[in-house]
A = this chain, B = another copy of it.
Amino acid sequence: VKPVRAPHGTALSCKGWQQEAALRMLMNNLDPEVAERPEELVVYGGTGKAARDWPSFHAIVRELRSLENDETLLIQSGKPVGVLRTQESAPRVLIANSNLVGKWSNWDCFHDLERKGLIMYGQMTAGSWIYIGSQGIVQGTYETFAEAGRQHFGGNLEGRLIVSAGMGGMGGAQPLAATMTGACFLGIDVDAARIEKRITGGYCDEISRDLPDALARLNAARTNGRALSVGLVGNAADVLPELIERGVVPDLLTDQTSAHDPLNGYVPNRMTLAEAIRLRERDSAEYTRLSMAAMGRHVEALLALQARGAVTFDYGNNLRTQAKLAGVERAFDIPGFVPEYIRPLFCVGRGPFRWVALSGNPQDIYRTDRLVLELFPEDLPLRRWIDLAQRKIHFQGLPARICWLGYGDRAKLGLAINELVRSGEISAPIVIGRDHLDAGSVASPYRETEGMLDGSDAIADWPLLNALANTAAGASWVSIHNGGGVGIGYSQHAGMVVVADGTDQAARRLQRVLTTDPGMGVLRHVDAGYAIAENFAGTAGIHVPMRNRE
């Protein structure tokens, strides 16, 4: 297969910029600079794919090229299944990936249907065409580490040691986010190629194949107050117990291996990666058994280090559930990162907002960076982030930027970007979207909705309403997925993307969508009884039909 790259520049190959944006973003998701395993259509997160198979990919491209401005393309688990006449102000693409009826919503049924070619794993932004490479998670990870620093280390992570595993599409953001906060970072991954990829991309500083060597380098850096990230080739379930033996206790401890998928994600310990891959081919049941056991061992080591004082948290890959299934009763003594560090942001509609320059021209993104500083001059953390991002983030595929923005600010920025496109200061339309991990777009009891105040963790009405509302408001494309970061049956979430092409119609869409979308985040948390959200709704003038427990 010849590598896929999104067209750059200002010429349309479709009948409108919304179709063109979907086309370029689909292709960008599969750009070898962006995707983890583009030849298999895998973008990130285990087997998160952009299209079901190559014939489906080509059919989507063909359909987008001929799609009229009042038509809508339907994608069912990465396959184009219909084109319907809707209306000009409606989305151009509607996507549903990996969704299964409740009782069948588990990996066994999923894999069975996947083997039959009937379904695909969409992760979050893979199947909904708004993944932007590791940058997508850098700011989230940076905010998480920084918040942990504020809560536990007086706001200063210099000289501190952060340990994690998994240097894949998402996990690869950790070393950079860590050094951005000033900390030292040890990242364990079984796959040397993944670590090399992070070094090439500027996300990780060094690679090591030997724990004492890695620790020595990190200790030297810590002593000198220098930030350093080292990728260690090894299996987390082997290396963490070794850390304990050596008496090393990290300051912050977490994990981003693909634990959500015990067969095609996590790699069992006590064997080489090559051996593991052969075993997976030969005997998937045995692979899964060993993989689950390794996750048990992995979490036991996390718990032991937590007991020795490491600030330990789960980073949204469902590792705790797998360990619990493997018999580690206390797995959920490790807190999740959302209730610990993220929920207060969700209450005001803040989340991983992002945009991409369809031109392919980095200058367009630098112009939006300046715009952010012009619009929000008083926001110091944002200023610090833009500054760091410009210096440290290498673009992958189409240039992009991520900023955690909240209700109000998103619409403000979106409209201002649209004006810059209109005036020509930005050379081509900008695509604006977000992760599915956002304020009002996900139900996931072991991650985004873990421990909700009213106990509504498992209620999935909210992400479905979010998708319907964004469709009603006229997003350019909208998606509903099952699975995401925690695996089949563990979450329901929705994505949305809207195109700023400098037209009046785009301005209306942006105003509506960038208000309804974070607005639902506020409403969801008001309904659950969060005071921050209630106060914010009051201040922002968001109409709440019934007060909590009216």
By a beta-carbon cutoff of 8 Å, the part of chain A in contact with chain B is: 55-56, 59-60, 62-63, 72-74, 76-77, 79-87, 89-91, 94, 96-106, 109, 113, 116, 118-119, 443-445, 454-462, 464-465, 467-469, 471-474, 478, 480, 482, 488-492, 508, 512, 515-516, 519-520, 523-524, 527, 542-546, 550
List, in ascending order, chain B residues with CB within 8 A of A116's CB: 454-456
* Count of this chain's copies in the oligomeric assembly: 2
Chain B residue with Cβ nearest A89: B87
Separation of A113 and B443 alpha carbons in the complex (Å): 14
Q: Report the nearest B residue to A85, measured CB to CB.
A: B512
Query: Which of B94, B467, B474, B545 touches A59 (beta carbons < 8 Å)?
Result: B545
Bound-complex Cα distance A63 to B545 (A) = 7
* Whole-angstrom distance between the Cβ of A497 and the nearest chain B Cβ: 14
Hey, which chain B residues are within 8 Å of A87, CB to CB? 89, 472-474, 508, 512
Q: Please determine whether A101 and B545 come into contact, CB atoms closer than 8 angstroms.
A: no
Q: Are B473 and A102 in contact (CB under 8 A)?
A: no
Contact, CB under 8 Å: A84 / B519:
yes
Given A99-B492, A101-B443, A461-B96, answer yes or no on A86-B472 (Cβ-Cβ < 8 Å).
yes
Select A472's contact among B56, B94, B100, B516, beta carbons within 8 Å.
B94
Residues from chain B with a CB closer than 8 A to the CB of A456 are 113, 116, 118
Known: A94-B465, A94-B468, A118-B459. A85 touches B516 (CB 8 A): yes
Instruction: Name 25 A/B residue pairs within 8 A (Cβ), A-sorted.
Output: A62-B545, A72-B472, A77-B459, A81-B527, A82-B543, A83-B543, A86-B512, A87-B474, A89-B89, A94-B469, A94-B472, A96-B465, A100-B459, A101-B444, A101-B445, A101-B489, A101-B492, A102-B105, A102-B490, A103-B106, A116-B454, A116-B455, A467-B468, A468-B471, A468-B480
Chain B residue nearest to A488 (CB atoms) is B102
**Contact between chains at A56 and B105 (CB < 8 Å):** no
Instruction: State in angstroms the CA–CA spacing of A118 and B546 once bound together.
Output: 13
User: A82-B544, A116-B454, A118-B454 are known contacts; what are 15 more A-B pairs with Cβ within 8 Å?
Assistant: A55-B546, A62-B545, A76-B461, A80-B546, A81-B527, A86-B474, A87-B473, A96-B461, A100-B458, A100-B460, A101-B443, A116-B455, A116-B456, A118-B456, A464-B480
Provide the residues of chain B in CB contact with A473, threshold 8 Å: 84-87, 90
Q: Which of A82, A98, A100, A119 lies at the interface centre, i.e. has the most chain B CB atoms within 10 A of its CB?
A: A82
**Cβ–Cβ contact A103 & B105, under 8 A:** yes
**Shortest CB distance A221–B (Å):** 42
Across the interface, which residues of B come within 8 angstroms of A85, CB to CB? Answer: 473, 512, 515-516
Kindly state the separation between the CA atoms of A84 and B475 in the bound complex, as whole angstroms.
14
Give the contacting residue for A445; candidates B77, B104, B478; CB below 8 A: B104
Residues of B within 8 A of A512 (CB): 85-87
A457 cross-chain contacts in B, Cβ below 8 A: 104
| A460 partner residues in chain B, CB cutoff 8 A | 96, 99-101, 482
Cβ-closest chain B residue relative to A491? B101
Partner of A461, one of B86, B99, B468: B99
**Which of chain B's residues has its CB closest to A458's CB?**
B104
Q: A455-B118, A490-B103 are in contact. Are A546 and B96 (CB under 8 A)?
A: no
Contacts A82-B523, A113-B459, A459-B118; A102 near B492 (Cβ below 8 A): yes
